[in-house]
Amino acid sequence: MDYLSLSNKVSHRRFDPYKLFMYNNAWFVLGYDKKSYEIRYFKLSRIQSMVVTENRFTVLATYKESDYLDDFGMKKNGEWYEIVMLLHGRYAMLARERIYGRDQTVTPIDEDTTELRCTMQNEENIMCFVMGFGSHCEVVSPQWLKDRVKDEAEKILSQSIR
């Protein structure tokens, strides 16, 4: 297959597919990549072209799906971070009804504010998650996330007033 990386470079891969799954509203395939000699995730929308062969393959004896996927998606998808944020308005109530991450606790502060605390992975996914709440979200920690949200808000504002 020809695969387009996040850095916008195409690489040719030979790949044994083990599992097709959806994560964050996108389809992925997990399997053995013969270029890197590792089990890898590939996003289907980045596959530029592929040739299905008649070649048979055997799943690696050391492969265990639970090493790569869990109830929250991909296990090897970046560092894990404890996220603490305050949600306001209707999002305060929605946070009480949904599971967003591992080890989640939801603490009502008052009728309009809820503290959401959970463990999440992948900085880009966390940013998208937090930014999706818009002005109804206040990041308490970690500091890198507070800084990135502030920087992103400033960029949005500067682009909007041009």
Mean pLDDT by 10 residues, the chain (162 residues): 92 95 86 95 94 93 88 72 96 89 93 94 89 96 96 90 76
The domain 80-160 having CATH identifier 3.30.70: the answer here is yes
Whole-angstrom CA distances from 46 to 1, 10, 89 are: 10, 9, 37
The candidate with the shortest Cα–Cα distance to 133, out of 159, 119, 153, 147, is: 153
The pLDDT score that the predictor gives to residue 8 is: 92
The pLDDT score that the predictor gives to residue 72 is: 67
Dist CA 68 CA 26 (whole Å)? 17
Dist CA 88 CA 124 (whole Å)? 23
**Two tokens, residue 49:** 């072209």
The pLDDT score that the predictor gives to residue 109 is: 95
147: left (phi > 0), else alpha (psi -120 to 50), else beta?
alpha
The pLDDT score that the predictor gives to residue 69 is: 84
pTM over 0.85: no
CB-neighbour burial class of residue 47 (10 A; exposed 0-12, middle 13-18, buried 19+): middle
